[in-house]
Homo-oligomer: A and B are copies of this chain.
Amino acid sequence: MRTLLHNARLLTMNETFDEHLCGWIVVEDAHIAAMGDGPVPDMHKAADEIIDVNGDLIMPGMVNTHCHMPMTLFRGLGEDVDDRLYRYILPLEKEAITPDVVRVGSNLAALEMMLGGVTTVADMYWFEQHVGRALDAAGMRGVVGQTLADFDPPDHNTFHEGFGLVDDLREEFRHHDRISASIAPHAPYSTGPKVMERVGQYAADHPDVKIQMHLAEMKSELAWCEKNHQMRPVALADKAGILRSGAIMAHCLELTPEEIEVMAERKIGVAHNARSNAKAGRGIAPVEAMRESGLPVGLASDGPMSGNTLDLFSQLAPASMFAKLLGQSRACLPARDVVQMATIEGARVLGLADKIGSIEQAKHADLIRVSLDAPRMNPIFDIYAALVFSASPSDVLDVMIDGQWVVTDRRSQTLEHQKVLGDARQVTEQFKKKISRIDTIS
């Protein structure tokens, strides 16, 4: 199968940030076979599908480096409530999360992300096998992490059971093209150093299994580590051997310059949850300092109960604005860097930069087509600024993942929009009854 896309404004996000104002791409099966600017060479004109994209933007699909997909079902619950984690999330998760609920929430998340231009996601949750299956069916790319924690989660009573779930996940996806299994200790304070050590060993024994974890996210975590181990979170994680090359650490707000150096030396990747951190009133992660040290930093939605939306258009402007506030200058974290973080740098965080994240020959064809037609996008003096500060997820017209059209003309081709919404509403009606009971008790 050969597809030719032409008459495109092409943002490659390659190393030299090449932009083609009258670009074309040839996709052959799952890969980008050829690309260029100007008239399409004759040799590329024979294709099964020829699409004039009418001057719209074609750019790499976005990479969401940290998510809890099934939590779409809790979106907006306990909004603006400081103790919402213990008041709502943990009791509800314990009582309500089943494989079927995970499937329903994952479908809603996948639909939202694809419509909003996200083609790859790193997720961590309970019953993660079912998240992987939902991503597979939706046609998305993902790194799916089975979460391990000591707070009596819905899918394992002991860490022994938890590691068993990781084994199952690995078994199911070990030969999958788009989905890979990952192991996700929740956080230093919710696994303790012993389990972190065991996770480090698991990752050493299974090099195909990446580690994902929340790290240095908040002051209470610092206090826990200090009280119980007289260490800061990064030192505790490092001592446990979990800061392995390729591990994905989410949040990373509370870092000293020395800790940033340690993380850079360990060659880990960082998932920056701009909106989620700010919404919690926790602060602004030192993104520029991390990137200057050589740490790749990707953008991330976090779970929808924290960051609400799962597309990355919602994260672009906040990421830039927060960095400018932190650095007290308009020049901090310019628009192009933010788009880089949402695409190729996010791919680096997930260890996928050789496959995706930019439009380059021989890479997998994960592409999005973005309309530039909204008044708010015009005029375009700077295409990166237009994407960061003006674009919305609704501007995404078409999405291709691994050479397959999963969204065309703003409609999902792999999921039934109304059915996905209907299933989600049915589940949340059940939640509402449980919540009113929680609110009555407290």
Contact = CB atoms under 8 A, between A and B. Distances in A.
Interface of A: 72-77, 79-82, 84, 108-109, 111-112, 115-116, 275, 278-284, 307-311, 314, 317-318, 320-322, 324-325, 327-332, 334-335, 373-376, 378-382, 384-386, 389-390, 392-395, 417, 420-421, 424-425, 428, 432, 435
B275 A381 contact: no
Nearest to A313: B392
Contacts of A81: 330-331
A118 to B, nearest CB: 11
Contacts of A284: 325
Given A330-B81, A389-B309, A374 B279 contact: no
B389 A374 contact: no
Nearest to A333: B80
Contacts of A417: 375
B327 A281 contact: yes
A395 B395 CA distance: 11
A330 B80 contact: yes
Contacts of A80: 330-331, 334-335, 385
A64 to B, nearest CB: 13
Contacts of A308: 317, 376, 385, 389-390
Given A330-B81, A334-B80, A335-B79, A321 B278 contact: yes
18 contacts: A72-B378, A76-B382, A76-B385, A76-B389, A77-B381, A79-B385, A81-B331, A112-B375, A112-B376, A279-B389, A281-B325, A281-B327, A308-B390, A309-B389, A322-B325, A325-B325, A378-B425, A379-B425
Nearest to A308: B389
Contacts of A328: 281-283
A430 to B, nearest CB: 11
B379 A321 contact: no
Nearest to A380: B76
A76 B386 contact: yes
The 6 A-B pairs with the shortest beta carbon distances in the complex, nearest first, are: A394-B394, A308-B389, A112-B375, A80-B334, A79-B385, A392-B392
B281 A424 contact: no
Given A309-B376, A321-B318, A329 B394 contact: no
Nearest to A334: B80
A392 B389 contact: no
Contact of A309 (B84, B278, B381, B390): B390
Given A308-B317, A378-B424, 14 more contacts: A73-B379, A74-B381, A79-B334, A80-B331, A279-B321, A280-B324, A280-B330, A281-B324, A281-B328, A281-B332, A307-B389, A317-B318, A375-B417, A392-B393
